[in-house]
Structures are given as structure tokens and as C-alpha cells.
Amino acid sequence: MVDRKTVTLLLCSAFTAGQTPETVIRSNVHEVLLDVVVRHQNLSLAKKLSAADFTVTEDGVPQTIKTFRFVGGREAQVLPEAPPVIGPAVQSAAPHANSLREPNFVSIVFDEIGPDSRKNALAAAADFLAQEFQDNTYAAVFGLNLRLNALQGFTNDRAVLQAAVRKAVTGNSMDLANASAGVLNQTTFAITGDRTGISLTPGIDFTQNADLSTSSAAQSPLSESQQYMAQLIGSQRDLVSYGTGMRVLTALLRLVQFESRLPGRKTVLYLSEGLSKPPDRGDFMRTVIGAANRGNVSFYCIDVRGLTPATSNGTAVGLSRTAGSIAKTQSVMSDSPSAAMRQAQQFDVMQDALVAQTQLNMADLAENTGGFAVFNTNNFKGSMARIMEDVRTHFEISYVPASTVYDGRFRQVKVTVNDPKLVVQTRDGYFAMPELGGPAVLPFELAGLQTLSGGARHDFDFHASALRFRPWRDGYRYEMGFDLDIASLTTSVDKTSHKARIHATFLALIKDASGQIVNKVSQEIDREVPEDKLDQFRRGRIIFTSPFEAISGRYTIEAAVVDPEGGRASTKRLALVVPKPGEPAVSSISLVHTLDPLNGARDPGNPFEFDGGKVLPELAQAANSQAPTALFFVVYPEAAAGKPSVTIAISRDGQEISRSTPEVGSIDQMNSFPMIQSAKLPPGDYVARVTVEQGGRASREVTAFRVNP
């Protein structure tokens, strides 16, 4: 058994530059995998084609087809072991299921849908579920509100799926959050906000709340299957502070990252009232498309508004021009009796343009990932039948790219057939990302990888730490935390928009004892703030945590923060020793930066959330003597061994100055006891020791911290 005191002391100890090998970005030969659907002009499937009928180009350069096969309907096939690939197939894909048939996974995602469209949404989903589900086809149901809620894990039980669909369409945000056992975890930031913008929000003032206890939760524990779903899609936390377009695309990107880990063909059925692109992040749609194509994920987008005033996607530009003409006329005739009517006319035309533009965005996402979009109809049966045909009947083509330079650039892929009357449906390309030997690389992570490959660098200060929480398999679940002063970033003001850009990327690579990358945590922060609010923001900090899992053993964490606007970066190396799980268990001890109220239902995948609020950890392990110092930790008790007892001892200069035995309260829905304890301490260096005893066994956790004047 590894002493937990040793673990805690090692967590934050930094390596010198030469103690571990540098991160090496490899550009090896990879195989690109494409799913290709070919139809006749009457939309019937074309099945009798050979490899000689196809031509594949990448950035206009012809490629040599390596493997070719037809995956057709009911045929059973034995699948060979898949080699590591990059491009449209994720390079760290899970092994194939032990089955004669390749599995098919379909994620049914409902965006926020208004009352007028709910009937169509239910009808479209019912038409899809009415299709024949073969024994290798599974579906899951998600509801997208402030975050993506997993309402039903993968199953081919259509009655269960239909019940989840009804909840997704008719439930409110609280219903969805409460029903979701596998929510995409919400990033914790010192800067927060809502759809109207970003603001700085204070946490609970510990000078007024010196003693805080833990309240119990009334909900029952999550089942093992629900917790597994939470682990799969909890790789990063979505941002409530995003505007609608960014929020949706970020959630879809998280879903793509989750599905990329699954074998076989993956399909996302996205039902929405239109897809908006974030106005200042037009590149992010391409990021989602590229990630989907790497992960072999196809989108099918369904506009559940049905028949709309905008009769086609091609009207978007024309409608915008018409609205502009009306506005110009209105400015000349503003005093005329018809001014009000013209204002209303302009509004109606702009609404029509918005409908058409959001449909174009849906078509962009679907068609560039090998699917298609459905607009302007109240009859979805034919389209749903086509989607199921695509799921189970298609060609698989692979090739090794002629270019072996993986520079992060998007590579355009085009597949054509000899017969010009046939219509080809496939992915449009992928990002040429380097190999890590672990999880697939996202485009924004490339700058962090290049920084780490260049060795140690220090252009500004930041804090990073790995905090241990719940036991997991043969190890533990951790939260990787970053803390950066916003003043460290380059934030120049645009003279035209009078806005400044707060832009930073964060990356942590988790390497095992052999130097192999086994996991990673990353986040891109990209915000625009008004010029008159910039000074306020520059006095703030970006603090966030994101989860990862690790089995017992020794690891190195290489962390990088990049300031893209200023071309600056800093790195850190941390040692991490993961002990073997033992019961009872206690998490790492965190100083509390702020305690914010929960904006909605508790996220069961976030250990910093509990019924009393949401903890923002102080990763610098430094408190201020002007306010009480608050400590946060979570106790994970041994089952059926009675309630644990907790002792908290605080020492200074080797002398114990306080000891308390707080009541743990009632166990919560996660079978844990989150606890916060605070004390007013004078300036100095301290050590806190938490001892948990239960059933004759004890667990101990130790942390050092400083209280500044």
C-alpha cells in the first residue's frame, strides 16, 4: 500500500528539464478510412461496384486504394484487427466487439425545441425507431440544453428509447439534468456568464460564512451502467458561458470525442430548429467536422420546424439583400405612414434569412461528414428509412495518404465514381494531426504539443495540479486543474469593434513510466470582452478542472499554456503517483478559491459540485489571512461498514494548532460525503491532515498550504 502522504507531496513536485524525455510529435504513415454511400438518382442504393469504379483524391492528389469492401444489410462478416489509423478513423479506437457483425451506434440528439416543433420532433424520432433494428445496431438518446444530457445509454430496446425520446422533447432543463447520469461535465471558471455575455461573479464570502457543512441528497445512487456512460463522455466540460452557437457546437464536439472511442460505424441524428454558427468562431464548425471525420462519425441533421417560410437554403443570401434594401428605403422614408409596416416587413424577411442560414449550417455539418440534412417537410418517414439504410449498407474504402507531413492543416478528400449518374455521399476531409500514441489530437492542441516538443519554457506563471478523487477500477479518477492570471495574456483591443480577445489554450499530457501518452486534458478559452470591461477582466483568473482516469502506477504530467495572440507559452512537469484503491478513501485536499451556488441540478460527474454549491479550487495552495481559509475534500466510504468518522488536524511549524471532528452528515447520491471546513488563520505555512476511520481501517491525506498577509 502506498502511503497517501507521499502521494500528496509528490503531486505538486516539479521535475527539472532533463529528468524525463521530451514530448516527440511523430508523423508516421497512417491509414485513412472512409464510409461511402452511393445512390442512383432515384435514391436507391448502388451496391454492385468494385474498387476500380472509385477514385479517391486528397487535396487533388490521387490516392491508391488499399482496402475495399461492401458492408451490406444483413450479411455477417468477420472483422480483422484494425491497425492504428488517423484521419476519418480515430487512431485509438476501441477494439471491435466480439461479434460477426460490425456494430453500429446511433446517437439521437435533441436540441432545445419549442412547443410548435415538438410534434415534428417526436414524429421524426418515432419514424426512425420504427425502422428495423438489427442485432448489431444500438441507439442512445441525448437532450441538449445548457449541456448535453445522456437520457438513455446505448440499447436496441425501442420501447426504452421511445420513453427517453419523450423526455428529451418535453422535459425542461431541470428534468433533463436530473435524468442524465452521463452529463458532459461543466468546466469551472473564475469568469462565468450566460447567453447574454460574460461576467465576473463572486462566490460565497467566507468572512460571512465561516462554518459550512455538507447537506445530503435525496436522489438514489447512480447505477454502474450510468456511471460508465458518465465516464465515457466526461472527457471535458462544456461551457455554460458560451453563446448558443458555440454551446451547441462544443457539445457536439464532446459527443464526437466520445463516439470516436467506439468501434464500427457511428451516426449522430441531430434534431433541431436550426444550427447557428458562433459569429466570432466560424472556424469551430470546421473543427467539429474534422473531428467527426477522424472518428468515423456521420451527422444527419433534421430541421423539426417542418415547412417554413424560407422555401430553400439558397434563399438565404437573397433574403438578406432584400432586407438590406428595405432598411435603406426605411431610412429615407422614416417619417412616412408606411414606416412601421416597412419595419415589420424587414423583420419578417430577416427571420426568413435566419431560417435559411441555419439550414445551410445543418447541411454543412451533415454533408461534410457523410450524412445529409432534412428540411421543409412534415413527413420524415422516407428520410429516416434512408438514414437506416446508410447505417447498415455502405462501402468501406481505405488508403495510405501520399503525404506524410502532419502539420494540422485540413486535407480535402473527394471520392468519385466512374458513372456520373451516381451520387456519392462521404466525408469531405480531416485534419492532418500528428501521432501521440494515445487519444486523438484536436486542432487547437497542436500549439501546445509543439511547445512541449521544444522543451521547458517560461514566458509567464501558471499553476497546474492533479487532484485525486473517486476510486476507479485499479486506480483513481483525477481532476487536472489549471490556474492562470488573465493579465498574463496578450489582450489587444480591436479599434473597429472596441473589443479585446481573451484567448488561451491549455494542454496536459499524462505519460506512464515508459513515457507513453495514456491520456490528455485540454481546453481552449476564446472570448471577446468589451473594451470598457477589459481592465476588470485582466484582474481576474482563469481556473478550470477537467477529469481523467489513471490506474495505479507512476506518471509524468507535461502541461503547457499557450498565449496565441502574443506567441508566448509556458510549461510545467509534474510527478504523479497513483496508489491502489483502498476503502475507506479520502480525496485530495483542496483550498477553496470560491464557492458558487449551483445554477441547476448537480452534475454527478463533477466532484467539485455538491448540494451546497460548486467549489472553485485554489490551485496555488495559498489563502489570504483577511478571510477564513476553507478546505474541501470528499470521503468515499466503505459499503456496509457504518458511518465514517473524520478528524482534521492543522499544524504550523511542526506544532498542531487545531483539531476538529466534524459530523459528516448524510451520504449523497454519489455515495460520498463532500466536506468543507474553514478556519481563520494568521499568516504562515501550514499542513492540514485529514484522517478518515471506518470499520477499524483508516485513510489519511495531507496537504501543505500558505496563508498570506
Q: How many domains does the chain fold into?
A: 4
Mean pLDDT of 287-297: 85
- Mind giving me the DSSP string for 135-160? TTEEEEEEEESSSEEEEEEEE--HHH
Do 307 and 319 fall within a single domain?
A: no
**Per-residue pLDDT tens over the stretch 522-570:** 988 888 889 998 988 898 899 989 888 899 999 999 999 999 999 999 9
What pLDDT sits at residue 572?
97
Confidence of residue 310 (pLDDT cuts 50, 70, 90): very low
- Specify whether 321 is located in the same domain as 300: no
Residues 290 and 305 grouped into a single domain: yes
| 604 and 683, same domain (yes or no) | yes
Tell which wins on pLDDT, 98 or 48.
Answer: 48
Residue 694 lies in a domain: yes
Does residue 36 belong to any structural domain of this protein? Answer: no
d(CA 8, CA 3): 9
Domain shared by 556 and 650, yes or no: no
Average pLDDT over residues 290-319: 71
Strongest mean pLDDT among 192-201, 406-415, 689-698: 689-698
User: What is the pLDDT at residue 573?
Assistant: 97
Same domain? For 336 and 228 the reply is: no
The answer to whether 505 and 526 are in contact (CB under 8 A) is: no
Average pLDDT value for residue range 97-105: 56
Give the separation between CA 14 and CA 607, rounded to whole angstroms. Answer: 25
Is residue 680 in some structural domain?
yes
User: Average pLDDT over the chain, rounded to whole?
Assistant: 75
191, pLDDT greater than 80: no
Which domain CATH number covers 267? 3.40.50.410
Note the pLDDT of residue 437: 57
Domain assignment present for 45: no
Q: Is the Cβ–Cβ distance between 68 and 85 less than 8 Å?
A: no
Q: Are residues 240 and 368 in the same domain?
A: yes
Alpha helical stretches, state H, 216-274: 224-233, 244-259
Do residues 521 and 573 share a domain? Answer: yes
Residue type, 422: L
In the chain, % of residues over pLDDT 70: 72
326 & 240 share domain: no
**Same domain, residue pair 527 and 619:** no
pTM: 0.65
Residue 168 counted as domain residue: yes
- The identity of residue 709, as a single letter, is P
Copy the grid coordinates of residue 666: 448524510
Q: Residue 85 pLDDT > 50, yes or no? A: no
Average pLDDT of the residues in 378-402: 89
How many C-alpha atoms does 73 have within 13 Å on its Cβ side?
8
Q: State the average pLDDT over residues 265-281.
A: 84
260 vs 299, residue with greater confidence: 299
Helices (H), 498-539: 534-538
Whether residues 635 and 664 share a domain: the answer is yes
Q: Would you say residue 684 lies in a domain?
A: yes
Residue-wise pLDDT for 112-129, tens only, equals 888 889 999 999 999 999
Which residue has better confidence, 3 or 388? 388
Residues 592, 573 within the same domain: no
How sure is the predictor about 436, in pLDDT bands with cuts at 50, 70 and 90? low
**Does residue 40 belong to any structural domain of this protein?**
no
What is the tens place of the pLDDT at every residue in 633-658?
999 998 777 889 999 999 998 899 99
All three cell numbers of 636, joined, read 468515499
Check: CB of residue 296 under 8 Å from CB of residue 427.
no
Instruction: Convert the pLDDT of each residue in 38-52 to its tens digit.
Output: 999 888 899 999 999
- Domain hosting 476: range is 1-25+436-581
**What is the pLDDT at residue 92?**
33
Cβ pair 380, 124 in contact under 8 A:
yes
